[in-house]
Amino acid sequence: MARLHLRRRTILLSALIVLIVSYGTIALVTSRWLAPERFDLTADGLYTLSPGTRQIIDGAHRPLWLTLYFSQHATRDLPQLRSYEQRVNEMLQEMVARSHGRIRLQVVDPVPYSDDEASAEGNGLTPISGGTNGERVFFGLVGTTRRPANADAASDMAPDAPDDTSGKPIDRTLPIPFFDPGRETFLEYDVAKLLYQLSEPEKPRIGVITSLPIMGDPVQGTQPWTVMRQLQQLFDVEILDQDKLQHIDKNIQVLLLIHPKNMSTDAQYALDQYVLGGGHLAVFVDPFAESDPTPLLDDVTSATNNHSSNLPRLFADWGVAYNPDQVVLDRARALQIELAGANLAHPGMLGLGAQELNRDDVVTASLQRVNVSSAGHFDLLPNANTRLIPLMQSSADAEVVPTQRVVEATGNPSSLLQNYQPQNQNYVIAARLRGPFASAFPEFAKRPHHLAASPANAEVILVADTDMLTDRLWLETQSYLGQPMLTALASNGEFITNLVDNLSGSSALLSIRRRSSSQRPFTRVLELQNAADRKFLQKKQELQSELADTKQRLDELQPAKGTNNTSTSTEQKNEIEQFLQRELEISKELRDVQQQLNAEIDALGMRLKVINIVLLPTLIVVFGVLYGWRRTRRNRRRRG
């Protein structure tokens, strides 16, 4: 019997050793030579790359090197940033694994006064202050098509493919200056955009069609508008003549149509075919373009004006409702202007803030405020087959008035507030219009290479204002050391740059939408905090109400001061004492509410700790003991 027991024990130990060796061998083989299978069990698929990102990675035919700079030592006291760095690192590792060796990643800690710190700054990363011992914190990404000098020798890949006619590869280096945790929902988009831009051999080419003097006038010595100078730094900008426009080159990745007026049929057909062919179009129209150099009509009673722009045939075909004879007023977002030495609120000039900007769209997510002037609005026609996704809209305290009324109120904008009637509607001032689209020119179906319909993912950007592009609405000139310096008062320039930057990407990049955040708050704790906030708000209101009543009582007693000074002083002292006493009581109640909140949160935390630390392990141990006891008892019965 003892020999049989010893033999069984030897077999079990041998089997255990075989299992351990087999597991180690399989783990080594799969990690070294096979792509590991991973399962994303998160609620929103946080660690699963979107199809657009996978398409961009698979299309990266040239080697790319990524360097993640993160100040490990300086962030010892910043757990939130360290947690987000892990999220960024995991996302990058997933992209590297997908690339099958075409993308390599290294993580660098740029300690103070080191070569790595100098490299981080030299490559355009932006440090923030507030680290341990006041150190600067770097947390950004640098991508390059040239193998860094400090890259691992194992990072060598196939030689670069030539990017120009001379056969010499064009090296590019682009940064993400800082990974802002508040922008986590666009993390995948930002990194995918960096990879896409690195893979592109040259600057994206964009076209501009306009009847406004956006490029300045060399004869008069005026420079291009600032938004155009910004675009020229980032893109290859080409000005197209709408009078000669019959075809738009497919190599133009983005086309800006600004203030279209009286466009010919051939020009509109060229736009139609450009959009149907997958081109990226942004249309800026305006019911009253204040920068239009055309003299105003003398007939001020006319229902229309020659400073308006429209694209009626294409808009109707796309299912867009737009009326150039209407301007959006919004007294809740009116900008303050100086006119004749007085400061006035202009309800036709709007400062659109966070509540009016779409926080779910990459173009407007990070903007603080966009200023517009005499803007129109868009809507969908009843028979529209397209979707209108707002980027900017008015507040609900807005109304629509005839354009002519705004023109007549140029010298007295306060008159626009007379008989003001808000219509409790958010008017869409800028939006994405998503297709599919059909051709607005079916009569040209027999023309060579005619396109009748667009791809399913086609989209057009619509903006009902052109004045937002002018310097006067978002820039201020200040003198610094005797030199003029421009200071941005709004995010208009960033809006245009983001818009073109977004549209200039591939269809794969445009398909990457906002992702969920990895932060998962304790909903029960938040409910307790919200309940306490409501209690605090109620007590605060009570305190303010009593304070106002007390001041009013003191004001009522003040006129009686001359008749009975002693009596009045006594009453005032009593009022003050009563107020102070009540203030102390309310302060004590506020502290009691806070203590109750803390007690409830502590109790909830204790229950969670007991469940995780004590209850679950205890249940597992009890289950194991019962299972072992039952098995031992069964074996004894068999032996007996």
CATH number at residue 72: 3.40.30
CA distances to 74, 212, 337, 410 from 348, in Å? 48, 21, 11, 10
- Write the burial class of residue 24 (CB in 10 Å: 0-12 exposed, 13-18 middle, 19+ buried): exposed
Is 102 a domain residue? yes
| Separation of alpha carbons 248 and 242, rounded Å | 11
Between CA 517 and CA 375 the distance in angstroms is 34
The residues, ordered by sequence, that sit 6+ positions from 372 with a Cβ below 8 Å of its Cβ are 349, 350, 352, 392, 429, 465, 467, 468, 473
- 311 and 436 assigned to the same domain: yes
> Tell me, what amino acid is at 260?
P
HEC profile of 212-245: CCCCCECCCCECCCHHHHHHHHHCEEEECCHHHC
Contact between 274 and 283 under an 8 Å Cβ cutoff? The reply is no
Q: Is residue 254 assigned to a domain?
A: yes
Same domain, 63 and 188: yes
**Closest to 331 measured CA to CA, from 392, 393, 415, 420:** 420
111 Ramachandran zone, left/alpha/beta (phi>0; psi -120 to 50): beta
Query: Quick one: which of 367, 354, 391 has its CA closest to 497?
Result: 367
**Based on the domain organization, do 195 and 222 belong to the same domain?**
no
Assigned domain for 212 exists: yes
pLDDT at residue 585, as a whole number? 72
Looking at the fold, whether 180 and 55 belong to one and the same domain comes out as: yes
- Strands 236-239 and 205-210, bridge-based pairing: parallel
User: What is the pLDDT, as a whole number, of residue 619?
Assistant: 82
Q: With respect to residue 333, please indicate whether it lies within any of the assigned structural domains.
A: no
Closest CA to 391 of 338, 429, 444, 347: 429
Tens of pLDDT along 559-569? 544 445 555 56
Residue at 115 is within a domain: yes
- Note whether 79 and 228 are same-domain residues: no
Domain presence at residue 586: yes
* Per-residue pLDDT at 131: 80
Q: Are residues 242 and 389 in the same domain?
A: yes
- Residue that has been written with the tokens 């009509």 in this structure: 297
Same domain, 310 and 446: yes
pLDDT for the residue 237: 95
Q: Specify if 99 maps to a domain.
A: yes
CA distance 275 to 278: 5
Both 186 and 221 in one domain: the answer is: no
Say which residue the tokens 């599919």 belong to: 436
Tally of CB atoms within 10 A around 474: 25
Same domain for 177 and 60? yes
Measured in residues, the chain has a length of: 640
Residues 134 and 240 both lie in one domain: no
Q: Does residue 212 share a domain with residue 153?
A: no
DSSP H or E segment with residue 142? strand 139-144
- Mark the ranges of the chain whose per-residue pLDDT is less than 50: 35-36, 153-167, 300-301, 303, 560-563
Q: Integer distance in angstroms from the first to the last C-alpha of the chain?
A: 13
- Residues 195-218 have pLDDT tens digits of 988 887 778 899 999 999 999 877
Asked whether residue 571 is assigned to any structural domain, the reply reads no
> Which residues are 352's β-sheet partners?
370
Tell me the backbone φ, ψ of residue 142, rounded to 5 degrees. -120, 125
As for how many domains the chain has, the answer is 3
The domain of 465 spans 205-292+303-324+375-393+425-510
φ, ψ at 434 (rounded to 5°): -105, 135
Residues 239 and 276 both lie in one domain: yes
